[in-house]
Amino acid sequence: MRIGIVGAAGGVGRRLARKLTDHGDEVTGFFRRIEQEEVVVASGAKPVRYDLVADGPEVLASALRGHDAVVFAAGAHGTGADQTSLIDGKGVESAIVAADSAMVPRMILISAMPESGRGREISESFEHYLTVKKEADQTLASSGLDWVIVRPGRLTDDDGNGRVRSGLAVPYGQIQRDDVAAFILEILHEPRLTRHIVEVVDGPSTVHEAVDTLVGLYGTPHL
């Protein structure tokens, strides 16, 4: 498959790019800063510099033509409310417009679980982050694309163990970025899972079993 990753130098993005290229997929890795190019190259992806805020969707569309799917793995990572609106919000809108106009049929969006931050004092900017994430989910869910929204728990950089708990709603927890990447790889290769929001945290099932169960319960059989 040909997959584009927006945010390919990020924590989940670079791990996903590596796993996909190891799997034999052709990956285009979109990154923002020139110093990130070597991270993308090291993952085996073809590096393409693209800024979700400065460059228009038509720039992304022209680089995405011919791809089977695009994964949105970018994020403002706590750089302020304005950046959150521009990247996690408007950036997703741009990627949807780009995928649509490039006739890339499928988009996987990394979102966040609604419980994120609960149980501690939430700053105004974190509250804003959750609002923007939900709005981006709504925008993608009402688009004409074939989409899957993945809501992981709190992300860690620990080594992955290939084991997760996933469903339409699961208890909040943490998950290794490596396992989120493995989960998205599996979803990219499972066309029967479409137009669903799925939550994922660390858990007892292999990634393959978890996605198989989702397909058994909610998959579109004729695909």
Ligand X SMILES: NC(=O)c1ccc[n+]([C@@H]2O[C@H](COP(=O)([O-])OP(=O)(O)OC[C@H]3O[C@@H](n4cnc5c(N)ncnc54)[C@H](OP(=O)(O)O)[C@@H]3O)[C@@H](O)[C@H]2O)c1
- Contact residues toward ligand X (CB under 6 A) are 7, 9-13, 32-33, 50-53, 73-75, 77, 87-88, 110, 112, 152, 154-155, 177
Output the furthest CA–CA distance in the chain (Å, rounded).
46
As measured in angstroms, the least distance from the Cβ of 187 to ligand X is 15
As measured in angstroms, the least distance from the Cβ of 55 to ligand X is 8
Contact 45, 14 (CB under 8 A): no
DSSP, collapsed to helix, strand or coil, labels residue 219 as: coil
As measured in angstroms, the least distance from the Cβ of 52 to ligand X is 4
Q: Which of residues 35 and 221 has its CB atom nearest to ligand X in the complex?
A: 35
Q: Which of residues 165 and 192 has its CB atom nearest to ligand X in the complex?
A: 165
Q: State how far the alpha carbon of 63 is from the alpha carbons of 5, 29, 58, 201, 221, in Å.
A: 11, 10, 9, 32, 32
How many CB atoms are located within 10 Å of the residue 190 CB? 17
As measured in angstroms, the least distance from the Cβ of 170 to ligand X is 13
Go through 170-185 and write b for each residue having 16 or more CB atoms within 10 A of its CB, e for each that does not: beebebbbbbbbbbbb
As measured in angstroms, the least distance from the Cβ of 223 to ligand X is 27
Residue nearest to ligand X (CB): 10
Cα distance between residue 210 and residue 125, in whole Å: 33
Q: Which of residues 104 and 219 has its CB atom nearest to ligand X in the complex?
A: 104
How many CB atoms are located within 10 Å of the residue 135 CB? 15
Q: Which of residues 107 and 219 has its CB atom nearest to ligand X in the complex?
A: 107
Q: Which of residues 88 and 179 has its CB atom nearest to ligand X in the complex?
A: 88
Cα distance between residue 40 and residue 28, in whole Å: 9
As measured in angstroms, the least distance from the Cβ of 221 to ligand X is 30
| Bridging pattern class, strands 154-156 and 146-152 | unpaired
How many CB atoms are located within 10 Å of the residue 201 CB? 21
Cα distance between residue 216 and residue 168, in whole Å: 13
